Structure formats: C-alpha cells, structure tokens
A = this chain, B = another copy of it.
Amino acid sequence: MNDPIEYAEQRGRFGSFGGRYVPEPLWTPFEAVAQAYRDAMDDEDYHRREGRWRQSRLGRPTPLTHLGALSSEIGGAQLWAKREDLLDGGTFCITSALTQALIAERMEKSRLLGESATGDFGVALGSVGAALGLDVTVFMRRAAIEQERLNAARMRRLGVELVAVDAAGRGRSQAMAEALRSYSISWDETFYATSSLASPAPYPQMVGRALSVIGEECKEQLRDENIEVEYAIAPVGSGSFAAGLFEALLDDEGPQIIGAQAGGGPETTRNSASLVRGRPGVYLGTHSLVLQDDEGQILAAHAEAPGLVMPVAGPQHARWLQEGRVHYVMVDDADALQAQRRLARTEGIFASRETGYGLAYALKLAPTLRSDQHILVGISGTGIRGLGQDDEETDEGGIA
C-alpha cells in the first residue's frame, strides 16, 4: 500500500470504495480497458509518448501564478493559482482526454465515445481524437448543447459527432447513460472515455493518474519557488480536477487539503455536495458517496457551475474523506460567483465559475493566516465557456 495508485489499480478499489458496478454487457469491455491501461503503465514508451504530447501539444506544465494583487487586497496569506485554464481547450480536461485517447490507440480502437456535461470534455476529446486520427462521438444533453453554444460550435469545428440526449434535469448522468448504452453495442471498435471520476473501474484510476500530473507540477513549482503551502484547495464535482491537484500533495507532511463543493446557499437546500451531504452508495458504476434519499433514490444535484452538478464523487474522494486526509466543504453559489468575478477584476484572470467555489473558500481562509503563509488554489479552466450564454448580463457596466 505504499503507492495508493498502484494499490487501487490492482483491485479496482480505493479502500472500500470504487469497483466496477456495471451490467454484464459492459464488464468485459471495461476489463479490456483495464488490461490495456495496466499494460500501458508498464510500458516506458507509453509514458514517454504521453509526456511528449502533454508538453508539445497540450501546453504542460501549466504555470503556477502568484496572485499578488488579490493577496494584498484580501490581506493574510499569499494565494497561488495553478493555471489549468492555459491548457489547450481552456480546461484541465484535455489531460484526461489525452490519456484515454492514447489508451484507445493502443487498443486499436477507431473511435472515442464519451459524454460531456459542459462540452469542455467534448472539446478536449475532439482535439485529441482528431490529432490521433480517431473518430469522436460525444453525448450531451440537448439543453446543455443549446446553452453551451460555444463548446457545441467548437466540437463541430473539430469534426465531433455530437449526439443530443433528450433528458430532463441538469448534470451529466443522463448523457453518461446514453453514451454507455451506445458503447455497449459498439465497444468492439469504440473506446469509452469519460470526464467523470465517478465511473466504473478502471476509469477513476486511469483519470486520476492522468490528472495527477497537475499536482506533480505544483509540487515541483512550489519547490522552485521555495514555498510550502498551508492549504491546497480545488472545486469538486465528480472530483477529477481536484483529485489531479490533490494526489501528489497527500502527504502527512503536506498541506491541509480542501475540496470545495457547491453548497447552494441560504435560500436553498439544493447542492452538489456529495462528500458532505452524501451517503455511501453505488451510482454511475462506482461505490462512493452519493446524494440520495432514504430509499436509495438519487437526488438531483444543483450548482450554479454546470461542471459541478454531480450527485456522486469519484471513489478516491470517498476514501480520502473516510481517512480524514481531505476536508470537504460546502460553498455558497453566490460566494463562488463573487470570487470568480473578483479574480477577474483584481488579477485579470477570467476563470471558470467552477473555480470560484474553491477560490471563495480560499478568500475566507487567507485573512486568518500570516502574509508569509501560502494557499494553493486550482483554476480548472477559463470562464469563456459561460459567456456563450450569459452575455446579457450588463450589470457590470455597459459600453460608453
């Protein structure tokens, strides 16, 4: 159990969480993915190729930016931001998409099939798919396609086959279900790719490992800056971004790690805080913490940031919670929006709304610390996506 990733990959589990809870049609295809993934992990050529692509195409490593202006405005600790908004496509997603596409290539699949809640992962999949000569099909709720016009248009430019799923409610589970159903009849030539850490094995392992490069880079960058952070904070929907940031920093000597979930607000009990309000359960193929009622019915998740709308988190988070290694908190939607806007105004970094949830918590923590202490926040992506829809907001000053 020295290396938690290795341990997890062998059993498909993270402590008592994880596993592969899928109907029989999906078992064997996913076992083949697990096998191909294990093979890749043992193959130095694979790691070299992945490393090269990350650097020369995705734009890794991403910078670690000192938020000097914001820190002094708030007073207290110094804030540092890991800039996944500067990756190709504008979000952290492409790092995960690349790994999955490279595994697909190893398996000699000709197509990537995935689901996307916001289109971010769809764009990422479209990019790496095109580069590797793989067809790409993305399932997305029809309402989400209409809302995320920008990402829909980008996917079309990238040649993605975009499949609209008619389903009520927000969040990605419906589109995931459709994608999986389609995959169950096409797995022979198709690779299922997911943006969600809450997925059947080997996906939480595979996605978690792919994204752990985020935290590895941070560790090195903090060393270069000669800094030790007191806190590391990231937003948690399904938790893939957060897991990517946290993994390398989970160390008894390391910082206090905080996963920020959408907690709704004073006027609502609706939230996406699976790791605060959820109970153990099995959903979307994994045993983890799930927002559910007493009868085991899944509750609709809510967050102002569409990327966080998820009633279940990846199983490693359930384990980290259980073991007390990560602290999960709820952040009000309004505070998150506030934090997102403040980052834009004060630092000129227009980050995703998802980012606001982690940042809002950091902004509350900072004043309780000394100015020679440090907080690391993860920026999951740029805020451009959201502009496709809410540019009617003119409350922020019009045109002269």
Q: Which residue of B lies closest to A64 (CB)?
A: B56
**B-contact 0/1 string along A143-156, CB 8 Å cutoff:** 00100011011101
Question: Does chain B have a CB within 8 A of A278?
Answer: no
Question: Does chain B have a CB within 8 A of A296?
Answer: no
A234-285 contacts to B (CB < 8 Å): none
Number of A residues near B (Cβ < 8 Å) is 60
Distance in angstroms between the alpha carbons of A316 and B22 in the assembled complex: 64
Question: Does chain B have a CB within 8 A of A391?
Answer: yes
* Given contact pairs A59-B86, A344-B130, A162 touches B400 in the complex (Cβ within 8 A): yes
Q: Which residue of B lies closest to A146 (CB)?
A: B399
A387 touches B150 (CB 8 A): yes
Distance in angstroms between the alpha carbons of A129 and B346 in the assembled complex: 9
B344 touches A159 (CB 8 A): yes
Question: Does chain B have a CB within 8 A of A212?
Answer: no
* Shortest Cβ distance from residue A60 to the other chain B in the assembled complex, whole angstroms: 9
Question: Does chain B have a CB within 8 A of A55?
Answer: yes
A378-398 contacts to B (CB < 8 Å): 382-384, 387-388, 391, 394, 396-397
Complex contacts, A132 vs chain B, CB 8 Å: 69
A154 touches B387 (CB 8 A): yes
Distance in angstroms between the alpha carbons of A345 and B134 in the assembled complex: 11
**B-contact 0/1 string along A66-77, CB 8 Å cutoff:** 101100000000
Question: Does chain B have a CB within 8 A of A158?
Answer: yes
Question: Does chain B have a CB within 8 A of A347?
Answer: yes
Q: Which residue of B lies closest to A134 (CB)?
A: B348
A348 touches B131 (CB 8 A): yes
Question: Does chain B have a CB within 8 A of A126?
Answer: yes
* Shortest Cβ distance from residue A21 to the other chain B in the assembled complex, whole angstroms: 28
Question: Does chain B have a CB within 8 A of A349?
Answer: yes
B63 touches A396 (CB 8 A): no
Distance in angstroms between the alpha carbons of A304 and B178 in the assembled complex: 40
* Shortest Cβ distance from residue A29 to the other chain B in the assembled complex, whole angstroms: 22
B59 touches A59 (CB 8 A): yes
Question: Does chain B have a CB within 8 A of A222?
Answer: no
Distance in angstroms between the alpha carbons of A259 and B59 in the assembled complex: 26
* Shortest Cβ distance from residue A84 to the other chain B in the assembled complex, whole angstroms: 11
B154 touches A384 (CB 8 A): yes
Q: Which residue of B lies closest to A132 (CB)?
A: B69
Complex contacts, A131 vs chain B, CB 8 Å: 68-69, 347-349
Q: Which residue of B lies closest to A61 (CB)?
A: B59
Q: Which residue of B lies closest to A224 (CB)?
A: B56
Distance in angstroms between the alpha carbons of A87 and B158 in the assembled complex: 20
B69 touches A83 (CB 8 A): no
A387 in complex: contacting residue of B69, B83, B133, B153, CB < 8 Å: B153
Chain A residues packing against B (C-beta within 8 Å): 55-59, 62-66, 68-69, 83, 85-88, 90, 126-133, 142, 145, 149-150, 152-154, 156-159, 161-164, 341, 344-350, 382-384, 387-388, 391, 394, 396-397, 399-400
Additional A-B contact list (9), CB under 8 Å, known A85-B88, A130-B347, A150-B388: A55-B63, A59-B62, A88-B349, A90-B382, A90-B384, A130-B348, A150-B150, A150-B384, A164-B399
A-B contact pairs, 6 of them (CB 8 A): A57-B83, A90-B90, A130-B348, A149-B391, A153-B391, A162-B400
